[in-house]
Amino acid sequence: MLTLMISLALSAATAESPATQPATETAAKPEKAKPKLICRRLADTGSRLPERECRTQEDWNRQADSINKRLNNAK
């Protein structure tokens, strides 16, 4: 128990907080916006647990285009 308390105290003392970093360092690194994931429920496979697939909108569009091309070529 004592060693746990000591290790927590040491980790808290050595951890850097964002307030201690210089303002120029944080302002110089603009973060890229991560694309939003869109989750959809897949077709029922007979399982009790529903399956979900999460992709970006760009990935969903790419998949739909691919399926449409295959369907149009099959005619």
Q: What is the pLDDT of residues 2-27, one digit of tens each?
A: 665 666 666 655 555 555 555 555 56
- Tell me if the pTM is above 0.85: no
Residue at 28 is within a domain:
no
Residue at 67 is within a domain:
yes
Domain count, the chain: 1
Q: What is the pLDDT of residues 12-70, one digit of tens each?
A: 555 555 555 555 555 666 778 888 999 999 888 788 888 999 999 999 999 999 999 99
Compute the distance between CA of residue 42 and CA of residue 47 in angstroms, rounded to an integer.
11
Compute the distance between CA of residue 63 and CA of residue 55 in angstroms, rounded to an integer.
10
Compute the distance between CA of residue 58 and CA of residue 75 in angstroms, rounded to an integer.
27
User: Are 55 and 37 contacting, i.e. CB atoms less than 8 angstroms apart?
Assistant: yes
Calculate the alpha carbon distances from 4 to 12, 33, 35 in Å. Answer: 12, 38, 39
Residue at 24 is within a domain:
no
